[in-house]
Amino acid sequence: MSGPPPPAYAFSREGTAALRRLRGRRLLAAFDFDGTLAPIALRPEQVITPPGTRAALDRLRGWCTTAVISGRSREDVISRLGVTVDYAVGNHGVDGLPGAEREAAECVAVSQGWLAQLRSGEALRALDPGLLLEDKGVSLSVHYRQARDAGRAVASLPAVFAGLEPAPRIVTGKMVFNLLPPAAADKGTAMLRLLELSRAEAGLYVGDDVTDEDVFCLHQPDLLTVRVGRDDSSHARLYLRAPSEVARLIDALIGELAAARARGAALRTG
Ligand SMILES: [Mg+2]
């Protein structure tokens, strides 16, 4: 069985050429937050956007439409960004997605039901006191980064989730299980909706995790996808080595957009 072609390094000749093809078009640049704009920390509440990345994202907004699509709640991701973006969507695509308000309300009701069934996390702490239940409004997350016995927790949690009503869509991430209500949109759906809303002719999406594969798998011809962290089985077109390279990618993109604008101005005056 042949999988997708492995992603190329973003600053290789191939990567530079792919970035160049975004020139001169109405563009939407969207980013995941944890592990992409900001490096992962031991606890989710310790994560903030590094100043260099924040400044680059702020500069980029002068050149195209910007968006963040995060697994965090919308409110949480906005407070950690420290910079304004045109669209901030939380909870893997359901929280704050324009036009999806009814689905979001339905997701809140389902998540509250699960919270009650898990006795606000008591049922999880009985399993392992290091398990952390996060209420994200429209979804729940169970973090096991600090579990006493992570292997045992990972093995026994699916049975707990299977007992929930209605059955959640489980999306695994880095040391986390995300419990999404059946009506929740994924990041791919959210990206398509934002491309439409911003009337973009081309898109860039940067992410690092399993849930970002829903965007990488879209295979839209005018969507350039970048994974943070090399993984040859990813459907992304390009990869970066670490979140610390995201600011450099943004600046390279601004360079391309600026060159196209200067060329356009020269053609008009020349
Ligand atoms: Mg991430």
Question: Residue 64: pLDDT above 90?
Answer: yes
Band (187; pLDDT cuts 50, 70, 90): very high
Question: What is the chain's mean pLDDT, rounded?
Answer: 93
pTM: 0.86
pLDDT tens digits for 110-132?
A: 999 999 999 888 889 999 999 99
* Catalytic (active-site) positions: 32
Question: What is the 35 CA–ligand 1 centroid distance (Å)?
Answer: 5
Q: Which residues of 182-218 are buried (b: 16+ CB within 10 A; e: fewer)?
A: ebbbbbbbbbbbbbebbebebbbbbbbbebbbbbbeb
Question: Residue 1: pLDDT above 70?
Answer: no
Question: What is the 122 CA–ligand 1 centroid distance (Å)?
Answer: 27
State the pLDDT at residue 268. Answer: 80
Band (76; pLDDT cuts 50, 70, 90): very high
Question: What is the 187 CA–ligand 1 centroid distance (Å)?
Answer: 11
| Number of CB atoms found within 10 A of residue 166's CB | 11
Ordered structural domains, the chain, with CATH: 12-98+185-261 (3.40.50.1000), 101-180 (3.30.70)
| Number of CB atoms found within 10 A of residue 230's CB | 14
Question: What is the 228 CA–ligand 1 centroid distance (Å)?
Answer: 9
State the pLDDT at residue 239. Answer: 98
Question: Residue 2: pLDDT above 80?
Answer: no
Instruction: Spell out which residues have Cβ within 5 A of ligand 1, the ion.
Output: 32, 34-35, 208-209
